[in-house]
């Protein structure tokens, strides 16, 4: 590589492309993939993947996703397929102690942004090796392999997609042009929707959209590359909008999610939630634009219901609980064995994992940016949990012999996972038991809450009917 002129970029370079076959680096990549997938499935209570069957085979793919949760996002996108993919990551990450080795192991391609925050002293070099980045991306697609990038260019916690950069379109069209437009690269949009990005044991929906090629822009790209890139970027934007929830403000997002929860009697994070938002958005906008006073009255009614429910400490699914008179007899048989097992497992797990747990929680609390919180917790987990497990294994081996040390190394993480599952199960049973006792003690309380919820649903139905009547004139 020739030496750059003064002021040029001297940061990380694009690593060579991995050769196919079971090389040591490839095997390490697969092992790392298994580990990070397992860790993410522990952090999030449920990772629901929808539409993975749409992913085509036999051609190079360009995965694109919304970027709302820093390093968690590429891990989630890699979970939609067993195919290996190469990621694009901002260049400064390659210099970090925690992520640099992992990025090099996964053969990631550094992206050089003109962002002062990426460079010491805030001085952006005059020359950046963009050509090297594009060449690495072109070569990857030309070899029939797959790329993943985030066209927004930044990680954020905004309630809607940010304006897309043109890099994804330039990579696809550039790779096709270098290979006679014969690669048949397909774009695969992937939407990531979080219940709460930084909350331990929350839910994630990973939704794969309809893949499409850039073939419609090939002829235009031969004569007007800039216009072809613009049109393909618009297609990518539409594809991502189809698999993401987009709201104008955070207050609007919270209102929609709360209303959907009340309407369906449970907290949702699935395809049904997308259908609810699409169905009720015209109703919301109709009232917002034409009858703002009626919308505010409806907001107040929803807020009143939620205040009552939250003051009683009830989840939405418990409001409609239908428990028979025999429920108290069945409850000990369901709750008792879980409690007995938890009495043994949870204290042992706490004793072995309390220090790394507290350190991870501290790392999360010190991070103010919502889109970075989970990433900081996961990185702290990789830093603190393995040494903790190893110390317990060494201690067991020193006192009882190496077979016990090896057993401890396998058993301690398993006990930690079991403790997490037991605590969640006990919480669900305790919630149902509390709701049953509360409704039995106050006979009309459940009826009062259900009537409040019915009023909200009736207002929603009336609003939908009004919006349908006015649809031709809108």
Confidence of residue 61 (pLDDT cuts 50, 70, 90): very high
Q: How many domains does the chain have?
A: 3
pLDDT digits (tens, 9 = 90+) for 164-181: 999 999 999 999 999 999
d(CA 461, CA 474): 19
Confidence of residue 19 (pLDDT cuts 50, 70, 90): very low
Residue 274 sits in the same domain as residue 207: no
What's the pLDDT score for residue 461?
Answer: 87
Residue 148 falls inside a structural domain: yes
d(CA 370, CA 158): 10
Averaged pLDDT of the chain: 88
Residue 2 falls inside a structural domain: no
**Cα→Cα distances 254→196, 251, 259, 376, Å:** 12, 5, 8, 25
Q: Domain holding 121: CATH number?
A: 3.40.1130.10
Higher pLDDT, 114 or 188: 188
Higher pLDDT, 52 or 106: 52
CA atoms within 13 A on the CB side of 432: 16
423-427-430 Cα angle (round to 5): 135
Examine the fold and report which residue of 242, 265, 286 is the final residue of a domain before the chain moves on.
Answer: 242
Residue 452 falls inside a structural domain: no
Residue 265 sits in the same domain as residue 154: no
Out of 3-12, 17-26, 303-312, 403-412, pick the least confident. Answer: 3-12
CB 364 within 8 A of CB 198: yes
What's the pLDDT score for residue 464?
Answer: 82
CB 236 within 8 A of CB 168: yes
pLDDT tops 70 at residue 365: yes
Residue 470 falls inside a structural domain: no
CB 47 within 8 A of CB 351: no
What's the pLDDT score for residue 331?
Answer: 67
pLDDT digits (tens, 9 = 90+) for 417-427: 999 999 998 88
Residue 305 sits in the same domain as residue 334: no
d(CA 297, CA 421): 41
Residue 224 sits in the same domain as residue 255: no
What's the pLDDT score for residue 7?
Answer: 41
Residue 160 sits in the same domain as residue 95: yes
Residue 214 sits in the same domain as residue 258: no
Residue 273 sits in the same domain as residue 341: no
Residue 14 falls inside a structural domain: no
pLDDT tops 90 at residue 236: yes
Residue 182 sits in the same domain as residue 42: yes
Residue 234 sits in the same domain as residue 257: no
pLDDT digits (tens, 9 = 90+) for 75-132: 999 999 999 999 999 988 998 888 999 899 889 999 987 777 777 777 667 777 778 8
Residue with tokens 């609003």: 463
Residue 138 sits in the same domain as residue 254: no
d(CA 73, CA 150): 9
Q: Note the helical H segments in 291-326.
A: 292-311, 316-319
Examine the fold and report which residue of 242, 263, 296 is the final residue of a domain before the chain moves on.
Answer: 242
What's the pLDDT score for residue 42?
Answer: 92
What's the pLDDT score for residue 320?
Answer: 83
Residue 226 falls inside a structural domain: yes
Examine the fold and report which residue of 189, 220, 242 is the final residue of a domain before the chain moves on.
Answer: 242
- 4-10 mean pLDDT: 41
pLDDT tops 80 at residue 275: yes
Residue 458 falls inside a structural domain: no
Closest listed residue to residue 260, CA positions, set 284, 293, 289, 291: 284
Q: Which two tokens stand for residue 258?
A: 């709360």
Residue 232 sits in the same domain as residue 343: no
What's the pLDDT score for residue 323?
Answer: 61
Residue 469 falls inside a structural domain: no
Residue 396 sits in the same domain as residue 369: yes
3-class state of residue 172 by DSSP: helix
Domain that holds residue 285: 250-311
Beta strands in 52-180 (DSSP E): 61-65, 85-90, 109-111, 146-149
8-state DSSP, 156? -
Q: Rg (Cα) of the chain, in Å, rounded?
A: 26
């Amino acid at each position: 590589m020739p030496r750059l002129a003064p002021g040029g970029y001297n940061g990380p370079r694009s690593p060579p492309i991995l050769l196919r076959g079971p090389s040591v680096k490839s095997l390490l990549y697969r092992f790392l993939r298994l580990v990070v997938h397992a860790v993410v499935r522990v952090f999030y209570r449920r990772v629901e993947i929808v539409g993975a069957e749409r992913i085509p085979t036999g051609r190079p793919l360009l995965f694109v996703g919304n970027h709302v949760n820093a390093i968690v996002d590429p891990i989630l996108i890699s979970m939609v397929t067993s195919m290996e993919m190469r990621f694009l990551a901002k260049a400064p990450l390659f210099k970090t102690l925690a992520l640099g080795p992992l990025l090099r192991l996964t053969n990631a391609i550094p992206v050089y942004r003109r962002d002062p925050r990426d460079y010491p002293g805030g001085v952006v070099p005059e020359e950046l090796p963009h050509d090297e980045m594009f060449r690495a991306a072109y070569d990857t697609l030309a070899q029939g392999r797959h790329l993943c990038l985030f066209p927004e260019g930044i990680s954020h916690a905004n309630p809607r997609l940010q304006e897309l950069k043109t890099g994804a379109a330039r990579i696809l069209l550039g790779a096709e042009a270098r290979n006679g437009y014969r690669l048949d690269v397909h774009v695969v949009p992937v939407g990531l929707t979080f219940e709460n990005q930084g909350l331990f044991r929350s839910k994630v929906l990973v939704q794969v959209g309809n893949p499409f090629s850039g073939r419609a822009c090939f002829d235009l790209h031969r004569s007007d590359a800039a216009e072809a890139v613009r049109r393909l970027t618009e297609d990518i934007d539409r594809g991502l909008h189809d698999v993401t929830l987009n709201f104008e403000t955070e207050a609007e997002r919270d209102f929609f999610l709360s209303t959907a929860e009340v309407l369906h009697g449970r907290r949702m994070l699935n395809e049904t939630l997308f259908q609810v938002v699409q169905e009720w958005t015209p109703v919301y906008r109709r009232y917002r634009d034409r009858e703002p006073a009626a919308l505010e009255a409806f907001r107040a009614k929803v807020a009143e219901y939620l205040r009552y429910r939250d003051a009683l400490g009830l989840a939405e699914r418990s409001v409609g609980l239908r428990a028979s008179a025999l429920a108290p007899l069945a409850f000990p048989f369901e709750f008792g064995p879980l409690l007995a097992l938890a009495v043994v497992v949870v204290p042992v797990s706490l004793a072995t994992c309390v220090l790394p747990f507290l350190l991870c929680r501290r790392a999360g609390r010190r991070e103010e940016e919502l889109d970075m919180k989970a990433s900081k917790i996961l990185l702290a987990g990789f830093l603190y949990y393995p040494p903790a497990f190893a110390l317990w294994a060494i201690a067991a081996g020193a006192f009882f012999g190496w077979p016990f040390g090896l057993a401890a190394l396998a058993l301690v993480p398993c006990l930690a996972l079991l403790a997490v599952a037991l605590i969640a199960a006990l919480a669900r049973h305790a919630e149902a038991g509390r709701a049953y006792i509360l409704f039995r003690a106050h006979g009309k309380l459940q009826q009062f809450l259900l009537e409040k919820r019915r009023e909200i649903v009736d207002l929603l139905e009336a609003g939908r009917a009004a919006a349908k009547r006015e649809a031709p004139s809108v």
